[in-house]
Structure 1
C-alpha cells in the first residue's frame, strides 16, 4: 500500500491549462474517485500519476517518493484502461501472465500468480479462452487480473465500467468494492458517473474546469457541497437552486418569501442576490406556502419525480412516494424542510454559506 500526494500540480498543453494547482493527499489503502464532467482534468491527473504525462509544475509523490521524472514501469503502479487493452491472440491466462513474463518471472511462478488472480476474480473456467470469446464483464476481470499479478502499490482505473451495460456495471461495481476490501490497496478511480463514485469511493475528488472543487466523503459532497457546481453535479436528480434575494431572515423568490433560520448560515451575509438550494427529497408537496403548478410527473416505480413550476416560471423537482396521486396541471403549495436549506453565493462556483449544522446529518435518502 502507498500514500499518493499531488502538491500544487499544474498541467498545461500549449496555452491550454488542463489542470491548475491541484493539491490532493490520498491515504494508503483508500479508494478515491476522481469525478467530474468531460474535460475537467480527471483523466489528465490519472495519466500523470501513471507517468504517461508529466506535470508542468508541482510534485507527484507515491509512497513518499517524488516520481515526476520516473518512468511508468518504475512507479510500482498498475493501470486498468477503459478499453481493457487485452491481447486478442493470447489466452486469458497468457494475458494475465504477460506483465510477469516481461519481468522475467519463471513459468512456474507465473502459473501460481495467474491461478491466484483467477481464483480471486472467478476466472478459472476461462483461462484457455481468447478475449473475443468473453463478455464485457469477463474481459474487464481479465484486465483487473493482469493488474493484480503485478502486486503494485497503487491501482489506477480509468473509467473501467463505461463500456458495460447498466446491469453489468452494477455487478462490477460490487465486484470492485469487494476486491478493494480484500486487497486493501490504494485505488484511484476516474469516472464521470457520480453513482459509481458515491457507491464505491471512501472519498471523492470533484473536479471542474481543471480545478478541484471538493475532496471529501460521499456523505459530505452530497449533504455539504462546497459550492453550486458540486451541488448541481452530485445527486440524481441534482439539487434545486433557486435564484432570489436575501433580506434579513427572508429569502424572496417568485414574489413570495421563505423564512430562514439565520443561525444556520454565515454571520456576515448581507442583503442581496443569493441562491437557495434544496434537494428534491426535501421539497414537500402540499405542505408549505409557496404556490406552484405540477408540470410533469415521472413514475420510476418506487417513487415519483415531480417537475414543479413557480409563478415566475422557475422550475424545480420534488421526489415523492409512487403511490401518491398527483396530476399534471394541478395547483399545489410547496415547502422546504428547514434543516435541508442551503444558501450559495452567486455564480457557477458560488460557495455554500451554511455553517456545519443540522444539514450535515440529513440522511441521503436519494441514494
Structure 2
C-alpha cells in the first residue's frame, strides 16, 4: 500500500512557522495536488515527505510505516524537481539508468529497465543524445524516466512544468495524466498553477499561510469553496466577492437589493454584514431591473469576453459573456445573478462559507485574522 498520511505535522524554522497542524490522508494510487501561492508551505510539505526536511513534530507515514527519521533513499519514493537536474555529460539512457547504477543493478537488467521507461515516455529515439540536444519537454520526460526506472511507491513532483512554455505545459499535463492512469501509482504534485491542479489531480489541498484551507475534489473546490481565500484563489477570473449585508430575504449592496433564498444557507445566518460570492459565469448583463453597474473594460479572448464592471460602491467585479457580445466602456447595465450560484461568506478577511450544502471532513476552515 502506498497511501501517504500526515498526522498533526508542524514545521518551524526558528520562530517562523512554515506548517501548522497539517493533517492529510492521501489514498493509494491517488493523484493529489498541493496548490497555493509562494510561501504557503506546499514545497515544505513535499520536502518533508521526501526526507529532505524533517517535521518539528507530528508523524509522516508511507503505507503503515512512519518515515520521519528515514533517509530519502529508504522511503521508496522518487522525486522530480522543477530543475531537471540531468547530468550533462551523460546520455539520455545513462541519465535514466543512473539510479539503478547506484543500486548496483548491471547489464541486461538495467538495460531492460531503461528501455521500458523510455518506451513509456516515448524517448527511445533519444537514448544516445546528451541533455543539451533536447528540448525542455524532452528533458522533463528524461527526468520523469529517471524517477520511473526506480519503480517507487510514491512519485513526488515539485512544480515540474514551470520552466516550460504554455504549449509544452499543456502537452506535458496530458502526458502526466496518461502516465498516472497507466501506472496507478500515488503521485503528490506541488504547483502554484491552478489550471494544472484542476485538470490533473483527483483531489487538491489548497494551502495558505502554513494551513490547508480545503482538501477536496476539483469540482467541490470550484463550486463549494470553504472560505474566502479558496473562493478568491480558484478560478480565472476568480469568484467575485461583494461586501454588503443580509437583510431579510435580500443581500444589500450600496442600497440595492439582490434576492437570496435564506433556506439555502446555514441556520446561524443572521441579518448583518456579509460577503456575497458569485462566479463570473453566473452573472447576466442586461438592461432594466438588476444591480446597476458600469462597464469599465471588455477583454475579448476569442472564445469569450471578460467584462470588468464597476458597482455603485465603486468596487469592481468580472463577468463572462459570449465573444460576439458588444459592450462599450462607460455603458450602464443591470446585473442579474443566478440565484442557485450565490454564495455567502462571513464578513471577515478569511470568512467561512455559509451555504448549507456541506461542511465535509475534508474542509479545514481558515483561521480568522
TM range, smaller chain: over 0.9
- 1:254: how far off? 2.0
The residue that corresponds to 2:67 in the other structure is 67
SS of equivalent to 1:168 = helix
The residue that corresponds to 2:95 in the other structure is 95
Partners of 1:46 and 1:328 in 2: CA distance: 46
Partners of 1:98 and 1:141 in 2: CA distance: 15
The within-5 A match list for 1:209-288 is 209-286=209-286, 288=289
SS of equivalent to 2:290 = strand
The residue that corresponds to 1:28 in the other structure is 28
Q: Contact (CA 8 Å) 1:244, 1:275: kept in 2 or not?
A: yes
The within-5 A match list for 1:82-231 is 82-231=82-231
Partners of 1:356 and 1:183 in 2: CA distance: 35
Q: State whether structure 2 residue 57 is matched by structure 1 residue 57.
A: yes
Instruction: Give deviations 1:32-54, integer Å, cap 9, x for gaps.
Output: 00000000000000000000000
Partners of 1:227 and 1:38 in 2: CA distance: 19
Instruction: Give deviations 1:54-94, integer Å, cap 9, x for gaps.
Output: 00000000011000001100000000000011001100000
In structure 2, list runs of 5 or more residues that go unmatched: 359-369
The residue that corresponds to 2:365 in the other structure is none
- 1:347: how far off? 2.4
Partners of 2:225 and 2:90 in 1: CA distance: 47
SS of equivalent to 2:137 = helix
Partners of 2:259 and 2:292 in 1: CA distance: 15
Instruction: Please give the root-mean-square deviation of Cα atoms over the aligned residues, in Å.
Output: 0.9
Instruction: Give deviations 1:135-155, integer Å, cap 9, x for gaps.
Output: 000000000000000000000
The within-5 A match list for 1:10-29 is 10-29=10-29
- 1:348: how far off? 3.0
- 1:268: how far off? 1.2
- 1:108: how far off? 1.2
Question: Which deviates more, 118-127 or 348-357?
Answer: 348-357
Q: Contact (CA 8 Å) 1:254, 1:314: kept in 2 or not?
A: no
Partners of 2:267 and 2:156 in 1: CA distance: 43
Q: State whether structure 2 residue 346 is matched by structure 1 residue 352.
A: no
The within-5 A match list for 1:302-317 is 302-317=303-318
Instruction: Give deviations 1:152-175, integer Å, cap 9, x for gaps.
Output: 000000000000000000000000
SS of equivalent to 2:52 = coil
SS of equivalent to 1:269 = coil
Instruction: Give deviations 1:174-211, integer Å, cap 9, x for gaps.
Output: 00000000000000000000000000000000000000
Instruction: Give deviations 1:14-42, integer Å, cap 9, x for gaps.
Output: 00000000000000000000000000000
The residue that corresponds to 1:332 in the other structure is 333
- 1:349: how far off? 1.9
Partners of 1:312 and 1:24 in 2: CA distance: 41
The residue that corresponds to 1:360 in the other structure is none
The residue that corresponds to 1:4 in the other structure is 4
Partners of 1:247 and 1:65 in 2: CA distance: 54
Partners of 1:147 and 1:311 in 2: CA distance: 55
Partners of 1:202 and 1:255 in 2: CA distance: 43
Question: Which deviates more, 310-319 or 296-305?
Answer: 310-319
Query: What is the aligned residue count?
Result: 357
SS of equivalent to 1:214 = strand
In structure 1, list runs of 5 or more residues that go unmatched: 358-367
